Structure 1
Amino acid sequence: MDFSNLHTILRSLYDEMMPLCSDMAGVAQGIAGLGALFYVAYRIWRSLAAAEPVDVFPLLRPFAIGLCIMFFPSIVLGTINSVMSPIVQGTASMLEGQTLDMQKYREEKDRLEYEAMMKDPSTAYLVDDAEFDRQIDELGVTEVGTAAGMYIERGMYKVKKAIQNFFRELLEMLFQAASLTIDTIRTFFLIVLAILGPIAFALSVWDGFQSTLTTWIQRYIQTYLWLPVADLFSTILAKIQVLMLQNDISELTNNPNINLDSSNTCYIIFMVIGIVGYFTIPTVSGWIIQAGGAGNYNRAVNNTTMQAGSMAGSVGGAVVGNVAGRAGKLLK
């Protein structure tokens, strides 16, 4: 199974679904237009009631958001994707370089293992059919027991290598499946955020929903970063495997008779760690970017509430003082 083609299909799916953003723009413009009406009217009325000059600059906010909604695929999504795509391309090139190195060193290790076993007559027949046939012919009819033992040892060696290759291929397939799972969920989230993005922008025009804008941008960028973080994670694992292969090649060069079973076990362990670690990628992406819009909005609400409470207390105190003063005069 070629997993790279499946990742390419997911990229194509995202591009094919982007025109659906325009379908939501009409609904979003209506919501944003009504919100802009209340937004501007409330602020102008408040300035007039307080006999203060009207500050025009804050009133431009709903109109700027309206322009973003009208040209959402090109202005908003196009800008974010253009800024973030170099990160994706950079991490993908890093992963490709480490993967090529890993394949090169793996081929080198297999070649050294084969040459080391071929140099030793006691192990050459295990990996080479011609050497096995030659040694069987040399034994003759009188040494049937030795020949049977050679058949058994050769069969056990092949079974052992088959089991090792099976587990390695199984773990590699699970590792690729975990990567595909993360990429599929990422694509789904990006499509949903992109299609419903105009609605989020429209709601941010209304008072009380201003943080929706920054939260949407935060979520979209965090989800977009899943792929670069996954590539970095795979790059780190590939680099670990390259270092292990380099160590095995060095050991085989210095001592061709060394046993590398422990190295194969370590490889399997790191593959299991990689499969488990893939599902921490959303958490790591959340550490990279955090939006302060919601927190700032909550602080603003709290400050406004405290100011309103202080003002109410002052007004209430003044009213009570006036009433008490008038009551005192009447009693006199």
Structure 2
Amino acid sequence: MEWNNLHELLRSLYDEMLPLSADMATVAKGIAGLGALFYVALKVWQALSRAEPIDVFPLLRPFAIGLCIMFFPTIVLGTINAVMSPVVKGTNAMLENQVLDLNQLQQQKDLLEREAMLRNPETAYLVSDEEFDKKLDELGWSPSDLVAISGMYMERGMYDLKKSIRDWFRELLEVLFQASALVIDTIRTFFLIVLSILGPIAFAISVWDGFQSTLTQWLTRYISVYLWLPIADMFSSMLAKIQSLIIERDIDMLADPTYIPDTSNTVYIIFMIIGIVGYFTVPTVAGWVIQAGGAGNFMRNVNSTASKTGNIAGAGTGAVAGNIGGRLMNK
């Protein structure tokens, strides 16, 4: 599954549905025009009743909002997206560089781990068929060696079984990790589409006296939701950097000929669990950058999901730690 293609699909979906905001502009023009009529009439009547000169500058506000409604996709959305797009591209480039370095280091580490196990006579036959056949030839087929040969086959089978389970669990966590990022991106795209299509209505309602804050709230919510993807990319880049540092440390340790590698990848699994839980904190961090309200129920659901995921992750981490502890005691 190409996860990048799914993210590109969501971006294409947003671009294709963006023109629908122009259809709402027709309804919004009527609402804004009626609101402008009452707004201007009220301000003029208040000035005349107080025998004060009419201040023309505040009366220009409905006309400015009307122009934004008429050219909403280009003036409003085009301007905001053009300003925020470099932030998305910058964080995405940062993530791509970190992931590329991580993949190269992971390949180097896997090669060094195999070489380290081949150097050790006690583990060489576990990863190499040639070494396994060579050790069988050394033992021969005498009745006294049948027990040792049976033990070799059992150890080789247990090693392959544990490796298969470990790889399956690692792939499962990687799928959940990518799925968490895709959930955030999907919800972000849905919110942006709704805000974009209904944006002209929000602008039109803000013309009415007493609803001026609707315009500010729409802007803050749109920018806050738009920042979800850059923040998620920064979080992924941070995790990739941490994993790169861990792999670099393992590579330095593998340079020692006497070092026997541990192929459990426990630290990698723990950071994958942290990443899955951490993705659900992206909306909260975006709210720190720019304050936006109106998503209380969603945030409560996100916090509840993150709490449940954290409990599951804690149970899984405890099981892994218990497995490691049992192996150490057996040794």
Length-normalised TM-score, structure 1: 0.85
Q: Is the 8 A contact 1:31 1:203 kept in 2?
A: yes
Q: Is the 8 A contact 2:117 2:260 kept in 1?
A: no
SS in 2 for 1:14: helix
Give the match for residue 193 of structure 1.
195
Give the match for residue 78 of structure 1.
78
Aligned length: 291
Q: Is the 8 A contact 1:248 1:260 kept in 2?
A: no
Provide the C-alpha distance between the structure 2 equivalents of 1:199 and 1:249, rounded to a whole number of angstroms.
58
**Residue 241 of structure 2 corresponds to residue 239 of structure 1:** yes
Structure 2 matches for 1:55-74, cutoff 5 A?
55-74=55-74
Q: Is the 8 A contact 1:77 1:194 kept in 2?
A: yes
Higher deviation after alignment, 198-207 or 250-259: 250-259
Q: Is the 8 A contact 1:113 1:256 kept in 2?
A: no
Q: CA shift at 1:261, angstroms?
A: 5.1
Provide the C-alpha distance between the structure 1 equivalents of 2:201 and 2:211, rounded to a whole number of angstroms.
12
Q: CA shift at 1:247, angstroms?
A: 1.0
Provide the C-alpha distance between the structure 1 equivalents of 2:241 and 2:140, rounded to a whole number of angstroms.
50
Q: CA shift at 1:291, angstroms?
A: 6.6
Give the match for residue 111 of structure 1.
111
Deviations 1:143-162 (A, max 9, x none): 22221111111111111111
SS in 1 for 2:52: coil
Q: Is the 8 A contact 1:214 1:291 kept in 2?
A: no
Give the match for residue 324 of structure 1.
none
Give the match for residue 309 of structure 1.
none
Give the match for residue 265 of structure 1.
266
Provide the C-alpha distance between the structure 2 equivalents of 1:256 and 1:249, rounded to a whole number of angstroms.
13
Give the match for residue 225 of structure 1.
227
Structure 2 matches for 1:154-169, cutoff 5 A?
154-169=156-171
Structure 1 spans left out of the alignment, 5+ residues: 293-332
Provide the C-alpha distance between the structure 2 equivalents of 1:256 and 1:52, rounded to a whole number of angstroms.
92
Higher deviation after alignment, 230-239 or 116-125: 116-125
One-letter amino acid of the structure 1 residue matched with residue 32 of structure 2:
A
Q: CA shift at 1:259, angstroms?
A: 4.0
Give the structure with higher Rg (CA): 1
Q: Is the 8 A contact 2:113 2:261 kept in 1?
A: no
- Residue 190 and residue 291 in structure 1: after superposition, are their counterparts in 2 closer, same or farther (change >3 A)? closer
Provide the C-alpha distance between the structure 1 equivalents of 2:262 and 2:69, rounded to a whole number of angstroms.
61
SS in 2 for 1:204: helix
Give the match for residue 154 of structure 2.
152
Structure 2 spans left out of the alignment, 5+ residues: 294-331
Give the match for residue 9 of structure 2.
9
Higher deviation after alignment, 209-218 or 253-262: 253-262
Q: CA shift at 1:218, angstroms?
A: 0.2
SS in 2 for 1:208: coil
Q: Is the 8 A contact 1:95 1:234 kept in 2?
A: yes
